[in-house]
Amino acid sequence: MIKNLAFIFVIFFSCCNSVLNKNDTYNNEIRCIQVKQVFPVIQKDGKVPKYDSNFVKIYYYKDMAMYHLGYHYSYTKNKVRLITEDRDHFFIHKKGEVFGYDYDKNKSEFGVKMPVDSLLNKQWISVTQIYPMIFENSSTLVSSKWNLDSSILDEMYIYRSKQDTAMTGSVHLSFTNKMMDINYSMSKELDSMKNMKLYKAKLSQDSRYVNDFKVNLDEFHIIHGFEEVKITSPKEILAYFERYKKDILKDSIL
C-alpha cells in the first residue's frame, strides 16, 4: 500500500511539474505589456472633479502581436436601453503585415480580417502627441536626471503653446534602456533621439481661461505609460495565436 501511494505521488508531482514547466515555457516565449492612460474628466464649467483611466494589454509571441482591446456596447429597442456593458476583443497581426484578424466572442463571426492601420489608428494607444507637445511649442528643458542604478533617465520640460500663448504647462518624461526589444512605442521620435525607450509621460497643463467656451479651466494632467507584466493565462493567450496562424494559413490557400 505504501509503495502504491509513493508511486501515485511520484506520478502526480511529475505531471504537475510537467504542466508547470510547460506554462513556464509559454511565459518565456510570450511577453506582455500593459499600457495605461490616466486622463481628466472635465465638466462644462471647466472644473476637473476626478480622473479616469484606460488599460490595454499587448502580447508578443514570435513575430506576432495581439491587442486586448475594450469597447462600450449598448442596445436600445423602442427607445428603451436594454443592454449597456463593457466588452472586449482581441486583434492579432504579424509584424509587417497589412492585415490582421479580430476575434470578438460577442460577434456572429469570430475572426474577421481587417486592415491593421484602420483598427489600431483609432485606438487611444496610437494617439500620443508627446513629441509635438515639446518640439512644436516654445519649450525649455529644466531638468535632466540619470539614475545609474535603475538606468532611468528623467527629464522635465516647461512649454508655452505657440498657437495659444495662454496655454502653459510641463512635460515629465521617463526613459529606460530596458524593453528596447518591445515593439510598442509611445514616441518613435523620442526613442530614436535618446536611443532609449520612453515608458512614461506626464503632461500637465496650468489653469487658464478658455475664451472659446468662456470658462476658467482647472489645471489638469494626463499620464501615459506602459510596463511589462506577468501573463496570468498563457494557455488561453497561446490559443488565440494558434487560431490566428490557422486563419492566415487558410487565407493563403484560398
Cα–Cα dist 200/152, whole Å = 11
**Does residue 77 register a pLDDT over 90?**
no
**DSSP assigned state of 125:** G
Provide the grid cell at 180. Answer: 528596447
**Does residue 75 register a pLDDT over 70?**
yes
pLDDT bucket at 149, cuts 50 / 70 / 90: confident
Cα–Cα dist 92/112, whole Å = 10
Domain borders along the chain are 12-253
* Per-residue model confidence as pLDDT tens digits over 124-148: 888 778 998 898 899 999 999 999 8
pTM: 0.83
What backbone phi and psi angles, to 5 degrees, belong to 57? -105, 135
